[in-house]
């Protein structure tokens, strides 16, 4: 039997990092088993779906390494509406489902509670199909439904506690539970690997598989992803969009490595490992069922490690979207003609060790490409204290007299200027750094001045001096 797994997102907005983790787990499992990874877009809620969101799913999957030629699909759930209705008809004809005209208010009036489930009022009324009549599945009165789960063992559910649930609405359209089951049957899905939040639906879906005469798939419910307060990650509250991390400058390799650690770990005392190791060692049975904490600080640290491990030429290439404003990246504060690729290449090794996400490259190097630096007023107030004007005058004089414009000469000159005023280099360079770069922190100062050049450096020092008049 060929293993077939599926990832079935709904195109209702940005791509959730939890969904990305599920996609990776399904994809790796299929590869390990020599099976097939199926992408199915559950698009039946037309009011909430947009074509661009579907394209966003495909693009996000490709970004994290699931290329379009490595999976089957995408299929669209809306294309299988006929199969959904036919399955509902078979269940009704077999006596496994019945029509119900109860309103929610009527059920609440009979049960005296808005929290109690359906009371089975229409179970034996023998209502025929009709406008406004929902189709309910006839849940067995006795026995249990055992869900064999690769991660959670064998959760057992008493059938008498499962209400007769709706499988088709009053207009005849099937609900998610039935559509999902029929789609999996139609596509020959053998393993369903999905988030823990779907576990409460699983006994109902397994009952549907049984009633339709097909062996249920193997289930695996991976842990829910939570924030630092141990709350389930929410689009309304948390930063969860994979595209947002991509556009901020997280590397795909770092992101997918981190996502795979949400509930699982490779062998040994290590977390950052080659992707080939993850593909080889990942086992569903080893996934921890406890909630998995999505720690953005840890992800950021991961990303910094991956950035520092890049060959310099690859780092330069990775930074280009932020330096040129291409794709979905906002344009930088300089004009395209102001960007100097050679100047950036010269400082790239220095920047590579100092940033954790690629978007941070812009404030680190903007002083090289702008006609005038962007002055951080708080930094200016901190650096330009008493004696700063005289120090800038001396720095201009010393730098003007330099025969060789190189980092070592620039450093030794400013050291001498500071020593004459009883200042260590750290104190002496603060006014110079702010005058030239606009900030109190950044790339190594003297290497930066070397790349910026004599003329532009002296012009900025003089401009800062004039501002202090």
pLDDT band per the 50, 70, 90 thresholds, residue 449: very high
Q: What is the pLDDT of residue 312?
A: 97
- Indicate the DSSP class of residue 227: -
Determine contact, residues 19/236, Cβ cutoff 8 Å. Answer: no
Q: Is 405 exposed, middle or buried, given 0-12, 13-18 or 19+ CB atoms closer than 10 A?
A: middle
pLDDT band per the 50, 70, 90 thresholds, residue 113: confident
For the chain, percent of residues with pLDDT exceeding 90: 87
pLDDT band per the 50, 70, 90 thresholds, residue 47: low
Q: What is the pLDDT of residue 330?
A: 87
Residue 454 CB contacts under 8 Å (≥ 6 apart), including other chains: 399, 402, 405
pLDDT band per the 50, 70, 90 thresholds, residue 294: very high
Q: Where are the domains of the chain?
A: 4-77+176-225, 84-168, 310-369, 372-467
CATH 3.40.50.300 fits 84-168, yes or no: no
Determine contact, residues 266/273, Cβ cutoff 8 Å. Answer: yes
Give yes or no for residue 19 having a pLDDT over 70: yes
Name the average pLDDT for the chain.
Answer: 94
**CATH topology match: 4-77+176-225 vs 372-467:** no
Give yes or no for residue 438 having a pLDDT over 70: yes
User: Of 35, 40, 30, 38, which is closest to residue 9 (Cα–Cα)?
Assistant: 40
CATH code linked to domain 4-77+176-225: 3.40.50.620
Q: What is the pLDDT of residue 88?
A: 97
pLDDT digits (tens, 9 = 90+) for 328-382: 788 999 999 999 999 999 999 999 999 999 999 999 999 999 999 999 999 999 9
User: Of 386, 384, 368, which is closest to residue 376 (Cα–Cα)?
Assistant: 384
pLDDT digits (tens, 9 = 90+) for 230-245: 999 988 888 999 999 9
Residue 215 falls in the annotated catalytic set: no
Q: What is the pLDDT of residue 269?
A: 84
Give yes or no for residue 115 having a pLDDT over 70: no
CA dist., res. 20 & res. 325, Å (int): 26
Q: What is the pLDDT of residue 46?
A: 64
Give yes or no for residue 168 having a pLDDT over 90: yes
Q: What is the pLDDT of residue 373?
A: 95
Class of domain 372-467: mainly alpha
Catalytic residue, chosen from 235, 298, 382, 424, is 235
Task: Calculate Rg over the CA atoms of the chain.
Answer: 31
Lowest mean pLDDT among 41-55, 395-409, 420-434, 451-465: 41-55
Q: What is the pLDDT of residue 48?
A: 65
pLDDT digits (tens, 9 = 90+) for 398-408: 999 999 999 99
CA dist., res. 265 & res. 247, Å (int): 27
Determine contact, residues 114/181, Cβ cutoff 8 Å. Answer: no
């Amino acid at each position: 039997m060929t293993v077939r797994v599926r990832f079935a997102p709904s195109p209702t907005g940005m791509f959730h990092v939890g969904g990305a983790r599920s996609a990776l787990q399904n994809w790796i499992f299929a590869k390990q088993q020599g099976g097939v990874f199926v992408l199915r877009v559950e698009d039946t809620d037309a009011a909430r779906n947009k074509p661009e969101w579907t394209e966003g799913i495909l693009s996000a999957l490709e970004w994290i390494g699931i290329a379009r030629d490595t999976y089957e699909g995408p299929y669209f759930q809306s294309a299988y509406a006929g199969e959904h209705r036919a399955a509902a008809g078979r269940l009704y004809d077999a006596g496994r489902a019945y029509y119900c005209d109860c309103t929610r208010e009527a059920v609440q009036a009979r049960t005296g509670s808005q929290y109690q489930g359906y009371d089975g009022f229409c179970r034996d009324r023998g209502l025929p199909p009709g406008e406004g009549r929902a189709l309910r599945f006839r849940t067995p009165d006795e026995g249990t439904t055992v869900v064999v789960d690769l991660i959670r063992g064998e959760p057992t559910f008493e059938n008498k506690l499962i209400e007769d649930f709706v499988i088709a609405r009053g207009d005849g359209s099937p609900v998610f539970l039935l559509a999902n089951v029929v789609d999996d049957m139609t596509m020959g899905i053998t393993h369903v690997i999905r988030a823990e939040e779907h576990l409460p639906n699983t006994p109902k879906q397994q009952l549907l598989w049984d009633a339709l005469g097909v062996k249920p798939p193997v289930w695996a419910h991976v842990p829910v992803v939570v924030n630092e307060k141990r709350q389930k990650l929410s689009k309304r509250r948390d930063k969860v969009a994979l595209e947002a991390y991509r556009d901020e400058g997280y590397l795909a390799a770092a992101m997918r490595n981190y996502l795979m650690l949400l509930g699982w770990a490779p062998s040994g005392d290590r977390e950052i490992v080659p992707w080939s190791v993850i593909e080889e060692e990942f086992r569903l049975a080893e996934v921890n069922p406890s909630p998995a904490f999505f720690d953005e600080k840890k992800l950021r640290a991961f990303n910094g490690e991956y950035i520092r491990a890049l060959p310099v030429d690859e780092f330069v290439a990775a930074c280009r979207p932020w330096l040129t404003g291409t794709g979905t990246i906002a344009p930088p504060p300089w004009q395209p003609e102001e960007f100097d690729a050679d100047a950036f290449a010269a400082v790239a090794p220095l920047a590579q060790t100092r940033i954790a996400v690629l978007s941070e490259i812009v404030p680190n190097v903007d002083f090289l490409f702008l006609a005038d630096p962007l002055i951080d007023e708080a930094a200016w107030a901190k650096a330009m204290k008493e004696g700063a004007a005289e120090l800038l005058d001396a720095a201009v004089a010393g730098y003007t007299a330099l025969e060789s414009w190189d980092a070592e000469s620039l450093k030794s000159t400013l050291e001498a200027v500071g020593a004459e005023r009883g200042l260590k280099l750290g104190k002496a360079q603060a006014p110079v750094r702010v005058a030239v770069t606009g900030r109190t922190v950044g790339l190594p100062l003297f290497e930066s001045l070397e790349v910026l050049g004599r003329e532009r450096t002296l012009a900025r020092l003089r401009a800062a001096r004039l501002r202090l008049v």
